[in-house]
C-alpha cells in the first residue's frame, strides 16, 4: 500500500458525502449540473465525436494513433443519480492511450427522472449498433453504478441471444442496490465516500416500478452462468467490496471466468486518482485486457 494511496484515502474525510442520508442525496440531486466537458487529456489522445441516439448523447473517442481494433462501451458511475465527472474522462483518456481502442460513452438518463428499464432499452440500442459496426470485439466496462449497468447488460444480452461482449470490466461495481450483504456494514466505517442510507434511496429511485432486488437493478441476483470473462478491480476500503468478492465467487462456482484484483487500502473507484501508483497499475491491467481484442 503506497503512501499516496493512504494519504489520499485519509483526505477523503474532508469531502462532503452525498449519500450520508436520504435527505443529503435528495439535496445533492436538486443541485446537480450536467456532465463534465470532455477534458484536454482526452482530446490529446482521441478524436471526439458525438451523436444523438433516441434523444440522448453518445460520445465517441477514437484514438489519434492507429486503433488496435477493439471497441469499448463505458458506462459511468454516480449512484445512477449524478452525471459523468472529470475523473471519468481521466480514466477514459488513459484507456484510449494504453489500449488503443475506440470507446463509446453513453450519457444515460439519470434517476429520478429516468429508470433502470429505460437505460437497459437505450443501452441495448447502443450495443446493437456497436456490434453491427465493429463485430465481435465489443467489450463493456463501467465504474460503480456504471459497473452494475455493465454487468446487467451482459446478463440481458446473454438472455436475449445477442452476441456476448468480448470482456466485461468492472471498477468498484455497485452490484446490489439493496446493500443487504452484512459485509457492507462491516466495511462502512472504512469508506469515507459512500454511505448506505443514501445509496439505498438512490437504488429505489433507479428501480422505478421494479423491486430494487430485480436483476436489472441488482445484477448480483442474476443467474451468472454463461457470461463472458469478467475482470474486477476492487479496493477493500469500499462499501461495495463484499458484493464484488461475492460476484467473483458466484461466477467461479457457475463455471465462468472471473479475474478479481483486490487493492489493499483501495477506496471507492481509486482507479480515478492517477497520482496513485495502485491506480496506474489497475489501469494498466485493464488496458492489457482490452488489448486482447
- Contact between 176 and 221 under an 8 Å Cβ cutoff? The reply is yes
Over the stretch 42-65, which tens digit does the pLDDT of each residue have? 999 999 999 999 999 999 999 998
Phi, psi of 158 (to 5 degrees): -60, -45
- Contact between 137 and 71 under an 8 Å Cβ cutoff? The reply is yes
| Class of domain 3-290 (CATH, top level) | alpha beta
Domain ranges of the chain: 3-290
Distance CA 3, CA 52 (A): 44
Mean pLDDT over each residue of the chain, to the nearest integer: 96
Place 293 in a pLDDT band, splitting at 50, 70 and 90.
Answer: low
Distance CA 11, CA 130 (A): 40
Distance CA 247, CA 139 (A): 19
Distance CA 255, CA 274 (A): 34
Taking CA atoms, 251 is separated from 169, 181, 221, 282, in Å, by: 14, 17, 12, 21
Residue 144 annotated among the catalytic residues of the structure: yes
User: Which listed residue (2, 39, 139, 144) is catalytic?
Assistant: 144
The closest of 9, 10, 29 to 19, measured between CA atoms, is 29
Q: What is the CA radius of gyration of the chain?
A: 17
Task: Write down the pLDDT at residue 66.
Answer: 80
Over the stretch 1-44, which tens digit does the pLDDT of each residue have? 899 999 999 999 888 899 999 999 999 999 999 999 999 999 99
Cell matching residue 174: 455497485
pTM as predicted:
0.97
Over the stretch 212-240, which tens digit does the pLDDT of each residue have? 999 999 999 999 999 999 999 999 999 99
Q: Enumerate residues 6+ apart whose C-beta is below 8 A from 91.
A: 143, 171, 271, 272, 283
112 upstream amide cis, omega within 30 of 0: yes
Place 138 in a pLDDT band, splitting at 50, 70 and 90.
Answer: very high
Amino acid at each position: 500500500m503506497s503512501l499516496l494511496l493512504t494519504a489520499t484515502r485519509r483526505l477523503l474525510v474532508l469531502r462532503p458525502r452525498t449519500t450520508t442520508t436520504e435527505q443529503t442525496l435528495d439535496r445533492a440531486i436538486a443541485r446537480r449540473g450536467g456532465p463534465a466537458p470532455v477534458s484536454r487529456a482526452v482530446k490529446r489522445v482521441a478524436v471526439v465525436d458525438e451523436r444523438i441516439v433516441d434523444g440522448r448523447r453518445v460520445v465517441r473517442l477514437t484514438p489519434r494513433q492507429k486503433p488496435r481494433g477493439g471497441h469499448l462501451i463505458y458506462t459511468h458511475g454516480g449512484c445512477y443519480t449524478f452525471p459523468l465527472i472529470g475523473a471519468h474522462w481521466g480514466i477514459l483518456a488513459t484507456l484510449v492511450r494504453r489500449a488503443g481502442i475506440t470507446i463509446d460513452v453513453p450519457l444515460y438518463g439519470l434517476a429520478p427522472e429516468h429508470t433502470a428499464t429505460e437505460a437497459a432499452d437505450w443501452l441495448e440500442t447502443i450495443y446493437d449498433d456497436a456490434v453491427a459496426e465493429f463485430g465481435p470485439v465489443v467489450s463493456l466496462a463501467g465504474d460503480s453504478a456504471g459497473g452494475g449497468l455493465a454487468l446487467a447488460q451482459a446478463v440481458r444480452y446473454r438472455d436475449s441471444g445477442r452476441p456476448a461482449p468480448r470482456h466485461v470490466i468492472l471498477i468498484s461495481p455497485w452490484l446490489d442496490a439493496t446493500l443487504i450483504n452484512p459485509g457492507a456494514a462491516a466495511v462502512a466505517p472504512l469508506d469515507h465516500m459512500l454511505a448506505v442510507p443514501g445509496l439505498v434511496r438512490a437504488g429505489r429511485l433507479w428501480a422505478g416500478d421494479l423491486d430494487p432486488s430485480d436483476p436489472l437493478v441488482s445484477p448480483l441476483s442474476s443467474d451468472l452462468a454463461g457470461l463472458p470473462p469478467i475482470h474486477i478491480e476492487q479496493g477493500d476500503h469500499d462499501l461495495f467490496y463484499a458484493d464484488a468478492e461475492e460476484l467473483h465467487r458466484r461466477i467461479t462456482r457457475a463455471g465462468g471466468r472471473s479475474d478479481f484484483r483486490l487493492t489493499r487500502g483501495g477506496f471507492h473507484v481509486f482507479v480515478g486518482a492517477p497520482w496513485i501508483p495502485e491506480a496506474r497499475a489497475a489501469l494498466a491491467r485493464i488496458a492489457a485486457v482490452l488489448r486482447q481484442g
